[in-house]
Chains A and B, each alone.
Chain A
């Protein structure tokens, strides 16, 4: 390889493509269905990760014919043109233009929107000024037809000088339509480049390209009726209305979280019964048969692996519902409207409307949300957004909210959870304002310029696929950490520090785990939850929020049950703990705990993402800020609340 820059040929990673497999890159503007096409073409044989040496996420996969790998596919970041305004667009340009010709993809598939054709052709035109082999794949043909537009792919292909195919990755098969053109394009000679603009001035050159686009569109698109039925406009009269828009947004968010709590609860209960009942008793029977019943191995398996990992899996339905609902909002086109409605709010804290996207993704999981800050072209906006994302309440925290709210406020659990999300938004706004008025005084606001996609009826298959992908990603990120955390917690609980107990046979209150928590616990006494049990749960919650519950489960199952306390009643144990630590002001302590849980460091995976995106210095600053804000808020709530309740 001669190029010093990135190359599609040089970073194959673990994708199972034999050496020499032709590389096909998918390029195109955001929201044209590029990634949907990539997912449809590659199926399960894909990987998504950062491009080596960059912070930009790129998907890679293979396109097969029978059992053979025909092409390796690279899903490039969305780009309107080859004039980059963000790191994502810069990578797309680097891989398509700036590298040596031999390092470029063998074929580029430019994915365009048939419903808004002129938008997609600027990138096509810029690539046509090179001899890059190219196929144009048009999506949204159904929408164009519904809007009275007939696109002649043959005319378009003749005018732009490369093949054009119509594809429908949301509903139909796309492989057959594309595969033949890819083979023909690869076998044929490179296209003769279109002459570059004669003007040296950037805008005069752009105008020449736009004039070319105008002539191409007017010749290849026929309007079949005079008036376009615009259902999207009619819906937007409400969704974007200055009064109804924010109300609808709040209603949508409330519905999402209400559905999450009410629908997920019975599924969680069923899974909880499965793990604490049949799985545990089976494991105990197997260990007993193997003669390991009274050894530390039983503790590791039952109180460590089953209690911890089982608890994580119990909350999979919760995550799946949240991811599914977010995918529905995304696929329907509503998320872009939500960015418009919240732009004023974002602007007040010095962030552009598009910063709403990482922040809303943060409500699903902070890790991809931190990665999503890369859509912001301004580095300071990226840092500020990445520092605010941890205050958005992720679904892992939701699992703990639901448990605690169900224990202490069973009749109002949904409302309690909703209020925590409102508090999360308040944190984002207040801390954003505070940072802007101190560290970021000089930062200007990014203008809101959002291309609104037409509303679409979400497809079950696409929603399910996106949900599954995100769920997989979540489990992949969380499971390793959770297993490691559970193992470490069990180990700390197994090491005796007093009483002369043997390893693995020590009561938890005499273990190194309890001793460590006891040292920290006084810090939380002013907040009403200064017990070692709660402190130890918060300690592992620093690693991953799901582990708060598994830590509680481990701690209380490891303890000798009290006289009136049946074994395995986690809720009763937690309640008794809060009653004692709060001096009777349980409600105040529970709210203080929930707000602390909301505001302090989400998980180590988020920290890893922050370090990757904004560097170690800002990550450390963020951790210190989160802990300070969380502690101050929790103490304030308990000190005020305990005088009222």
Chain B
């Protein structure tokens, strides 16, 4: 876990309730397109709603709740300082 003094680098590091702006996902091409169709794409503001089993994260993006496994959450960079309080 990222120490609280360090800014979050990926969605996996975000604390529950903290908003951040997504950078370019580092997943494969097909998964990137599917994530984009679900609203998870660069420039979008997300926040983690829930931490779940095995490091999974539930993120809020627009009006949706998307569950992501731990590895995928790690491949979603957030822009330091953008959106985080």
Contacts and interface: CB of A to CB of B under 8 A. Distances in A.
Interface of A: 80-81, 83, 85, 115-119, 122, 147, 149, 202-203, 206-207, 210, 228, 232-233, 236-237, 240-242, 245-246, 336, 339-344, 347, 353, 447-452, 454
Contact of B53 (A115, A147, A240): A240
> Which one of A236, A241, A347, A447 has the highest number of Cβ atoms from chain B below 10 Å of its Cβ?
A447
A339 B38 CA distance: 18
A452 B58 contact: yes
A340 B49 CA distance: 14
Contact of A447 (B37, B52, B72): B72
A284 B1 CA distance: 75
A449 to B, nearest CB: 6
16 contacts: A116-B64, A117-B63, A202-B29, A203-B36, A206-B33, A237-B50, A240-B52, A241-B50, A340-B56, A341-B52, A347-B54, A447-B31, A448-B56, A448-B69, A449-B34, A452-B65
A246 B54 CA distance: 11
Contacts of A85: 30, 34
B32 A80 contact: no
B69 A343 contact: yes
Contact of B65 (A83, A206, A233, A241): A233
Q: Which 9 A-B pairs have the closest CB atoms?
A: A344-B54, A448-B69, A240-B52, A452-B65, A450-B67, A447-B72, A340-B67, A80-B37, A116-B63
Contacts of A245: 52-53
Q: What's the interface size class on B, roughly?
A: 20 to 34
Q: Say what secondary structure dominates the interface of chain A.
A: helix
Contacts of A339: 67
Contact of B36 (A149, A210, A241): A210
B49 A236 contact: yes
Contacts of B51: 242
B63 A236 contact: no
Interface of B: 27, 29-39, 41, 49-54, 56, 58, 62-69, 71-72
Contact of B58 (A207, A236, A454): A236
A241 B53 CA distance: 7
Contacts of A80: 34, 37-38
B34 to A, nearest CB: 6
A336 to B, nearest CB: 8
A450 B34 CA distance: 11
B52 A452 contact: no
Given A203-B33, A447-B31, A344 B39 contact: no
Contact of B41 (A210, A228, A447, A449): A210
A83 to B, nearest CB: 6
Contact of B56 (A147, A210, A343): A343
A237 B41 CA distance: 25
Contacts of A237: 50
Nearest to A352: B69
> Which one of B29, B30, B36, B68 has the highest number of Cβ atoms from chain A below 10 Å of its Cβ?
B36
B43 to A, nearest CB: 9
B33 to A, nearest CB: 6
A233 B49 contact: yes
Contacts of A452: 58, 64-67
B52 to A, nearest CB: 4
A116 to B, nearest CB: 5
A343 B50 contact: no
Contact of B64 (A202, A207, A246, A451): A451
Contacts of A228: 63
A343 B53 contact: yes
A149 B63 CA distance: 10
A343 B69 CA distance: 8
Nearest to B72: A447
B52 A116 contact: no
Contacts of A447: 27, 31, 68-69, 71-72
A347 B68 CA distance: 13
Given A340-B56, A451-B64, A233 B37 contact: no
> Which one of B32, B39, B41 has the highest number of Cβ atoms from chain A below 10 Å of its Cβ?
B39
Nearest to B40: A449
A204 to B, nearest CB: 11
Nearest to A144: B63
A374 to B, nearest CB: 17
Given A340-B53, A451-B66, 9 more contacts: A80-B37, A80-B38, A81-B33, A117-B63, A210-B41, A241-B50, A241-B52, A342-B53, A447-B71
Contacts of B38: 80, 119, 449, 451
A119 B39 contact: yes
Given A147-B63, A340-B58, A236 B50 contact: yes
A448 B67 contact: yes
B11 to A, nearest CB: 12
B60 to A, nearest CB: 8
A503 B28 CA distance: 68
Contacts of B71: 447
Nearest to A149: B63
B37 A122 contact: yes
A81 B67 CA distance: 19
> Which one of B27, B41, B63, B66 has the highest number of Cβ atoms from chain A below 10 Å of its Cβ?
B63
A165 to B, nearest CB: 20
B33 A202 contact: yes
A225 B64 CA distance: 17
B37 A81 contact: yes
A532 B72 CA distance: 55
